[in-house]
A = this chain, B = another copy of it.
Amino acid sequence: MSKKIMILPGDGIGPEIVEQAVAVLKTADEKFGLNLEFSQGLIGGASIDAHGEPLTDAELAKAGECDAVLLGAVGGPKWDTLDRAIRPEKGLLKIRSGLGLYANLRPAILYPQLAGASSLKPEVVSGLDILIVRELTGGIYFGEPRGIQTLENGEKQGFNTYVYKESEIERIARTAFEAAQKRGGKLCSVDKANVLEVTVLWREVLDRLAPEYPDVELSHMYVDNAAMQLVRAPKQFDVMVTGNMFGDILSDAAAMLTGSIGMLPSASMNETGFGLYEPCHGSAPDIAGQGIANPLATILSAAMMLRYSLDMGQAADAIEAAVSKVLDQGLRTADIYTEGSKKVSTAEMGAAVVAAF
């Protein structure tokens, strides 16, 4: 039986990088007999241009019928002046929420070949390997009520609601505990329980579940301290788990510790293992269409997809090994280029990964 993969290239550099990832997937398919079947859809600005909205219900339904989704990136200045309700980002929020993709896994890994790219001292980041588990369909991103209202005195007031119920916290906590079991056995839960009641509940649920995972050492950290510790001594962390908003901030900070955000994949999954896979970086409109974007984060996202949603771990390993090989060969796109290495285009990088299989 074939496995259906929906490709959502999106905007900016999205189409260029996704093209390379699909080529790599097709090579893996041939080599390992994966029986992959591809379809393509629109999201973000591309969908706004075609349909007037960032993700149509039809496209969402089609995505839900596939086994996994591979996404490029969304957004760009072309759509920045549109009404907020139909911005490209809303397509991303709609697919996350619509498909119940509550578990966002964001690894921050320093590739030894790229150690020099970090803005941190080598001894602080060498060997860095953190997994950030971010809740993706709740919290302040989706909480109601929300909006901007006019007060009696005529001035405007903006408001959002940061809300979590126990069941939402529990399922993401279990994802994180299980991830920690498969990794270094350490889980740091990040909250602001000294100020925010919603995160008091967060902490309570984590503490309640902890005895079920005796092989995992659970700790708690306030979000301000976590931001600080990521800068000071990031290697103290194994798995971190937090809500949607804090996860957005901390995962970007953690990704940047590696200096090579163009290398970092991510997965967003639901209870059944269905997932959406995308690079951690954005649509980089400033370099779109120039053929210089780094396709490796998307290629590594494709590998994550094979491993987590399609149970094709061997093919995933092969892709990751091929990526490591091209790095060993000294091939670098502009974002990770350093003197002495060989600068290559998006297409050349993709072709090199295919060739390294």
**Interface of A with B (CB < 8 Å)?**
84, 87, 89, 93, 119-121, 124, 140-141, 143, 146-148, 151, 155-167, 192, 194-202, 223-225, 227-233, 245-246, 248-253, 255-257, 259, 261
Contact = CB atoms under 8 A, between A and B. Distances in A.
- Report the copy number of this chain in the oligomer: 2
Closest 8 CB pairs of A and B: A158-B201, A158-B198, A227-B253, A157-B165, A224-B252, A228-B256, A159-B163, A231-B256
A233 B87 CA distance: 28
Nearest to A230: B253
A194 B89 contact: yes
A338 B60 CA distance: 57
Contact of A255 (B195, B228, B233): B228
A143 to B, nearest CB: 7
Main secondary structure of the interface of A (DSSP, over half): helix
Contacts of A245: 192
A255 B141 CA distance: 28
B159 A198 contact: yes
A119 B201 contact: no
Contacts of A84: 200
10 contacts: A146-B197, A146-B198, A148-B197, A148-B198, A148-B200, A159-B197, A227-B249, A227-B252, A230-B253, A231-B253
A249 B196 CA distance: 14
A86 B67 CA distance: 51
B158 A161 contact: no
Contacts of A143: 159
A202 B159 CA distance: 11
A194 B91 CA distance: 12
Contacts of A167: 155
